[in-house]
Amino acid sequence: MSKTTTRSWSTTVFSSKVIAYYHSKGRKNLPWHNTKDPYRIWLSEIMLQQTQVKTVIPYYQKFLTAFPAVLDLANADLDQVLHLWSGLGYYSRARNLHKAAQMIRDEFSGQFPKNQAELETLPGIGRSTAGAIAAFAFDLPTAILDGNVKRVLARCFAIEGWYGQSKVLNQLWDLSEKLTPKHQTAAYNQAMMDLGAIVCKRSNPLCLECPLLKNCLAYQSDRVQELPHKKPKKARPSKSVYWLIYLNNQQILLEKRPPTGIWGGLWSLPEIPQDQYQLTDEQQLEPILHKFSHYDLNITPLLIQKTMQKKPNISIMESELTAWYSLDETIPVGLPTPVSKLLPKLIEQD
């Protein structure tokens, strides 16, 4: 067994506590436990990806009734496989299962590969799934790193950063490799999964029931809620425009927007992108932030009535796309909300 020390932990202490948890409280009686059949273990690992245990159980049983062995799955029609998967979601999992079963039939003489590297050549089997199959079915000392294990390690060792980044992921894999014991690997891996699912839950983890509490860096530094770090939010895209306010005698010039796109067909203030316009002495009014579902529109209204040369009449069409409207009366066309809110404020400006 490794004698490495990883910050606050000796790896042997860590793995002994995890294995002790398996023997006292680990889950041992789910339908995919108590078997060494790699096909059954593989099926459960794939079905459990992004899916809860209670949802998986009936599908797992139905699937095994239809395809009791890997060759039954390989010889089945993909339509039948997908039919049995219906409702479980992420259908690429079912297609990959079927394809991998056919590879096992055709390239591995119907025998499940028995080592991690070969397992990883099968469609849909990544490093962690291969590690789990190798440990559970073949008693190999292979490490795993599914979502539950990542969370436990990120908290216990206060790993900084989001684990979608390869630097953070590599750090977690290094830790997992170092901590995974050479003996009782299956018990250790099962217990790490259970700890993540039952104790070190994403929200409201049950730290006081956790065998790792004493040395858990997140717990000791009161950072359990903060770790693991979430995916950084991308800055929302934004666009900045000027709205040109041509005012004269309580009348305002509006412009019809193109029929498609934002506010398609509504009447709005003439708009120009801010990066295409040099401000001179126009009067800027209070900026408006309008949030669309997918971006923010920063609007700076510019009052430019002084540039007006003529005195327009009510609702005179300047063209098909522009018209003057009186601010004193209800404007009988569709207006974007920020325009409706802005117009009453303009009465005092004229």
Cβ-based nearer residue to ligand SF4, 133 or 212: 212
Q: How far is the CB of 20 from ligand SF4 (least distance, A)?
A: 14
Instruction: Give the residues across from 242 on adjacent strands.
Output: 272, 300
Q: How many C-alpha atoms does 202 have within 13 Å on its Cβ side?
A: 4
Q: Binders of ligand SF4: how many residues, by CB under 6 A?
A: 14
Q: How far is the CB of 51 from ligand SF4 (least distance, A)?
A: 22
Backbone angles phi, psi at 100, to 5 degrees: -65, -40
End-to-end, the C-alpha distance of the chain in Å comes to 83
Q: Is 169 one of the binding residues for ligand SF4 (CB under 6 A)?
A: no
Cβ-based nearer residue to ligand SF4, 210 or 299: 210
Q: Is 219 one of the binding residues for ligand SF4 (CB under 6 A)?
A: yes
Instruction: Tell which positions 35-74 bind ligand SF4, by CB under 6 A.
Output: none
Q: Is 13 one of the binding residues for ligand SF4 (CB under 6 A)?
A: no
Cβ neighbours for 190, distance < 8 A, ≥ 6 positions apart: 22, 26, 27, 33, 136
How many whole angstroms separate alpha carbon 33 and alpha carbon 20?
18
Residue 320 known to be catalytic: no
Q: Is 200 one of the binding residues for ligand SF4 (CB under 6 A)?
A: yes
Is residue 46 within 8 Å of 126, Cβ to Cβ? no
Of 36-44, 200-208, 278-286, 331-339, which part binds ligand SF4 (CB under 6 A)? 200-208
Q: Is 154 one of the binding residues for ligand SF4 (CB under 6 A)?
A: no
Q: Output the CA–CA distances (angstroms, integers) from residue 44 to 66, 123, 180, in the order listed.
A: 15, 15, 21
Q: Is 213 one of the binding residues for ligand SF4 (CB under 6 A)?
A: yes
Is residue 138 within 8 Å of 207, Cβ to Cβ? no
Question: Catalytic residues, which ones?
Answer: 45
Interface with ligand SF4 (CB under 6 A): 152, 155-156, 199-200, 205, 207, 210, 212-213, 216, 218-219, 224
